[in-house]
Amino acid sequence: MSDVLIRNEPVPETQYVAAGVTISLAGPMQRYALRARRAEDLETVFQVTMPRKIGASEGGIACLGPDEWYLRTEAGATIPTASGLPVAITDISDRSICLVLEGPRAAEILMSGCPIDLDNFAIGRATRTIYETVEVIIIREAEDRFHVELWRSFAAWFWIAMTTAARH
């Protein structure tokens, strides 16, 4: 039994193309929930500068709350997990998938069910919000490109929601 196990993703791995937008599954990555009372403690552990403003993101780390950060990095990266400092580093690499919405209609498609004003959502901004009833994290990677992180079990539903909105 030397065959390696293969990953099974909840949405098609081929890109969905509609007028003005493409929707595709981002490749596997490592994700961590980082929690600490003091950002400095995480900076000591990771040797990076943590973004301090809620909604800001820097170097793959998004500040989602007063004591909460979301780290995304490439698959296979080595991440410290124990430190002795009062921090919590939890592996949630497979908790979510990331859908990439790209194209001039990307914001419009997201706004079909997300109440955020994306006209006033700067590039680099990240936030935890909802699409209809489902929690998502939206990261604006570029003017016309968004990353949407959502829990796997909702992904099949969300794929239909996105592609339906894209068709309309």
Partner 1 sequence: MTGFRLETGGRVDRGQTVQFSFDGKSYQGLAGDTLASALLANGVMLFGRSFKYHRPRGVMAAGSEEPNALISVDRGPGRFTPNLRATGVEIYPGLKAVSQNRWPSLKTDFGAINDRLGMFFPAGFYNKTFMWPRSFWDKVYEPAIRKMAGLGDAPTAEDPDHYAATYAHCDLLIVGAGPAGIDAALGYMDTNKRIILVDEQDELGGGALADPALWPWLERSHKALIDAPNVTILTRTTAFGYYHDNFIGVVQRLTDHLPELGDAPREKLLRIRAGEVVLAQGAIERPLVFDGNDTPGVMLSSAARIFANRYGVAVGKAVVLMASHDSGWHDVFALAKAGVGIAAIIDVRERVDSALMHEAERLGIAVHLNHSVMGVTGRHSVRAVQICNNDDYLGRRIDCDAVLMAGGWTPSVHLWSHSKGSLKWRDDLGAYVPDLPNENVVCVGGCSGDWDFGTGAIIDMLPTPKDQSRIKAFVDFQNDVTAKDIKLAVREGFRSIEHIKRYTTNGMATDQGKTSNLNGLQIASSALNKPVADIGLTSFRPPYTPQTFGALAGHAKGALFQPTRTTNIDSWAQAHGAVFELVAQWRRARYFPQSGEDMHAAVNRECVAVRSSVGIFDASTLGKIEVVGPDAAEFLNRMYTNPWKALEPGRCRYGLLLKEDGFITDDGVSARLAPDRFHLTTTTGGAARVLNMMEDYLQTEWPDLDVWLTSTTEQYAVIALQGPNARKLLEPLVEGIDLSAEAFPHMAIREGIICGIPTRLFRVSFTGELGFEINVPTAYGLALWQRLMAQGAQFDITPYGTEAMHVLRAEKGFIIVGQDTDGTVTPFDAGLDWAVGKKKPDFVGKRSMARPDIVAPGRKQLVGLLTDDPNVVLEEGAQIVADPKQPVPMTMIGHVTSSYWSEALGRSIALALVAGGHEMTGDTLHIPMPGKTHTAKVSGLVFYDPEGARLHV
The answer to the question of residue 151 lying near partner 1 (CB under 8 A) is yes
Does residue 40 interact with partner 1 by CB under 8 A?
no
* Sign of the dihedral through C-alpha 19, 23, 24, 29: positive
The 3-state DSSP class for residue 155 equals helix
Q: Which stretch binds partner 1 (CB under 8 A): 18-26, 27-35, 43-51, 136-144?
A: 27-35
Q: How far apart are CA 3 and CA 33, in angstroms?
A: 31
What is the DSSP-derived secondary structure letter of residue 92?
-
Binding to partner 1 by CB under 8 A, coded x per residue (else -) over 56-85, reads -----------x--------------x---
Q: Which helix (H) or strand (E) holds 111?
A: helix 106-111
- The answer to whether residue 7 forms part of the interface with partner 1 (CB under 8 A) is yes
Listed ranges 16-24, 47-55, 137-145, 149-157: which one lies at the site for partner 1 (CB under 8 A): 149-157
Residue 34 CB, nearest distance to partner 1 (Å)?
Answer: 9
Could you say whether residue 104 binds partner 1 (CB under 8 A)? no
Window of 17-25, 50-58, 111-119, 141-149 that interacts with partner 1 by CB under 8 A: 111-119
Contacts 24+ apart (CB under 8 A), 41-48: 41/83, 41/85, 41/86, 41/87, 42/69, 42/87, 44/83, 44/85, 45/80, 45/83, 45/85, 45/87, 45/89, 46/71, 46/80
* Residue with Cβ nearer partner 1 (68 or 141): 68
Q: Beta 134-142 vs 145-151: how paired, if at all?
A: antiparallel
**Residues forming the site for partner 1 (CB under 8 A):** 1, 4-10, 28, 33, 35, 37, 67, 82, 86-96, 108, 111-117, 119-120, 132-134, 151-154, 156-158, 160-161, 164-165, 168
